[in-house]
Chain A
Amino acid sequence: MGESIVITSGKGGVGKTTTTANIGTALALQDKKVCLIDTDIGLRNLDVILGLENRIIFDIIDVIEGRCKLQAALVKDKRFDCLHLLPAAQSSDKNEVTPEGIKTLVDQLKPDYDYILIDCPAGIEQGYKNAVAGADKAIVVTTPEKSSVRDADRIIGLLEQEDLKAPHLVINRIRKHMMDSGDMLAVDDIVSTLSVELLGVIMDDEDVIRASHHGNPVAFQPDTKASIGYRNIARRILGESVPLMLFEEEKGFLTKMKKMLGMK
């Protein structure tokens, strides 16, 4: 019996969909059977980030309204056999789905998968309620910005009212030098404000943008800062205890030269 995890944030644009795609990929790399569900109906993105847009035939609305079987709507990933996607509909809107509908769907999928990741839309309205209904656990994504932490706090408050385990936190888009100079919230401050368990941190990395541009989640790449972060998160979900990634600042050419010349 699989476990369903909703990935949510409240605020838009903090990287829910990217996080879903990459945690899913990282779990699949560990040979787990993973199903990703995109519940952002009307604004689907997850398929694009995974590079599976062209393979969609049916979507979640087709399944819920009985136009096709659940198996027929699942899109198999082009890199793994064990990673599947249930795409959102692009032509409908969020009110056409009910929380019960999503819950039934997730329950149908659970026996066949180890993990079911539900990508939640931004906001706290119907779409959020739908996404959360099917989940056993929640991962809250935030960035080290005040507005995003504020919304994460709001979402955690709402999640506490649901019948879920205590949510876990992912801090995305960390810029070490800005944290050090106090222009961004520090990891410790965020964790202390939100008082939830930290699941992992992801460095701000151009490779993430490059990877999603090419429809190839960054978690595939062996050595970028972000992919290591995502793979560590997957390992922690699997129960390993992995120390928090030490984020080394990428050193510029000039710094390297100075170091070589003994100037620093």
Chain B
Amino acid sequence: MTESNLYLTMKGTSDGIIVYLDDQCSFDQLLNTLKEQLQSDSLHHRTAVTVHTQNRYLEPWQQQRIREVLNDMSLIDVKSIESNVITKEEAQSWYDHTTLKPHVKTIRSGQVLHVIGDAFIIGDVNPGATVSATGSVFILGQLRGIAHAGYPDGIHEVVAASYMNPSQIRIADQLSRAPDYEMEGSHREFAFINNQSEQIELDDLHNLQKIRPHLTDIAERGL
């Protein structure tokens, strides 16, 4: 089912209806056409659509206008507004948040390392030291301090270390601390938030690909 006039194209897909907006005309023209089209049509059911702006970049207020027009004049709900383009700023931030940042050094007591993206520490994290990352934390060395993955809300992130004997592990807003008695650490483990218990659990590193198969899939975590 494809219905189109000069500026609007509608397409039915398995994910629902997508309304493509022309990306060459002016924004005012677009709004006017949208209004005209909505007045002439009469829907009887409430429908959710995805609006796709193609190669046009919409400012937040413009997106708001489109939502208003659709909501006010018809029974259409806007599921989301998609676009082929993003600003350089957004692209940079997306890149920053999805790339691995290597650090070749020992993080010592009192030092705090905050990383945007995934932290890759080649060295030890000593007692009293803190490493936090918006993504996951990977430590090729001993973790004896504090590691915080998914800061502030990435509940799917993990903390993995060659040797795990942390004083605390934090993932998103969850916290797990070492017991009060002295204990031996363990080799090649990772920490994650268990979906069922919603608590931080440790598991053997070779189970990581089963538990988090999309860990490094950037499309899953970005836009």
Q: A154, B144: Cβ atoms under 8 Å?
A: no
Q: How many A-B residue pairs have CB under 8 A?
A: 31
Closest CB in chain B relative to A109 CB, distance in Å: 31
Task: From the candidates A151, A160, A195, name the one contacting B109 in the complex (CB within 8 A).
Answer: A151
B115-138 residues at the A interface, CB under 8 angstroms: 123-124, 126-129
Q: Is residue A157 contacting chain B, with contact meaning CB distance below 8 A?
A: yes
Chain B residues lying within 8 Å of A133, measured Cβ to Cβ, are none
Chain B interface size band reads 10 to 19
Q: A154, B106: Cβ atoms under 8 Å?
A: no
Q: A154, B109: Cβ atoms under 8 Å?
A: yes
Q: Is residue B108 contacting chain A, with contact meaning CB distance below 8 A?
A: yes
Closest CB in chain A relative to B44 CB, distance in Å: 69
A196's nearest neighbour on chain B, judged by CB, is: B106
Chain A residues lying within 8 Å of B108, measured Cβ to Cβ, are 153-154, 156-157, 160
Q: By CB atoms of chain B within 10 A, which of A153, A193, A194 has the most?
A: A153
Q: B128, A153: Cβ atoms under 8 Å?
A: yes
Give the number of chain A interface residues (Cβ < 8 Å): 11
Q: How far is the CA of A158 from the CA of B129 in the complex (A)?
A: 13
Q: Is residue A150 contacting chain B, with contact meaning CB distance below 8 A?
A: yes
Q: A154, B110: Cβ atoms under 8 Å?
A: yes
Q: Is residue B111 contacting chain A, with contact meaning CB distance below 8 A?
A: yes
A176-217 residues at the B interface, CB under 8 angstroms: 193-195
Chain A residues lying within 8 Å of B127, measured Cβ to Cβ, are 150, 153, 193
B80-114 residues at the A interface, CB under 8 angstroms: 105-106, 108-111
Chain B residues lying within 8 Å of A160, measured Cβ to Cβ, are 105, 108
Q: How far is the CA of A194 from the CA of B109 in the complex (A)?
A: 10
Q: B109, A150: Cβ atoms under 8 Å?
A: yes
Chain A residues lying within 8 Å of B111, measured Cβ to Cβ, are 157
Q: A49-65: contact bitstring with B at CB < 8 Å (1 yes, 0 no)? A: 00000000000000000
Q: B109, A157: Cβ atoms under 8 Å?
A: yes
A145-167 residues at the B interface, CB under 8 angstroms: 150-151, 153-154, 156-158, 160
Q: B137-180: contact bitstring with A at CB < 8 Å (1 yes, 0 no)? A: 00000001000000000000000000000000000000000000
Interface residues in chain B, defined as those with a beta carbon under 8 Å from any beta carbon in chain A: 105-106, 108-111, 123-124, 126-129, 144
10 more A-B residue pairs beyond the given contacts A157-B108, A158-B110, with a C-beta to C-beta distance below 8 A = A150-B127, A150-B128, A153-B126, A153-B128, A154-B110, A156-B108, A157-B111, A160-B108, A193-B124, A193-B126
| CB-defined A-B contacts under 8 Å, sample of 20 | A151-B109, A153-B108, A153-B126, A153-B128, A153-B129, A154-B108, A154-B110, A156-B108, A157-B108, A157-B109, A157-B110, A157-B111, A158-B110, A160-B105, A193-B124, A193-B126, A193-B144, A194-B126, A195-B106, A195-B124
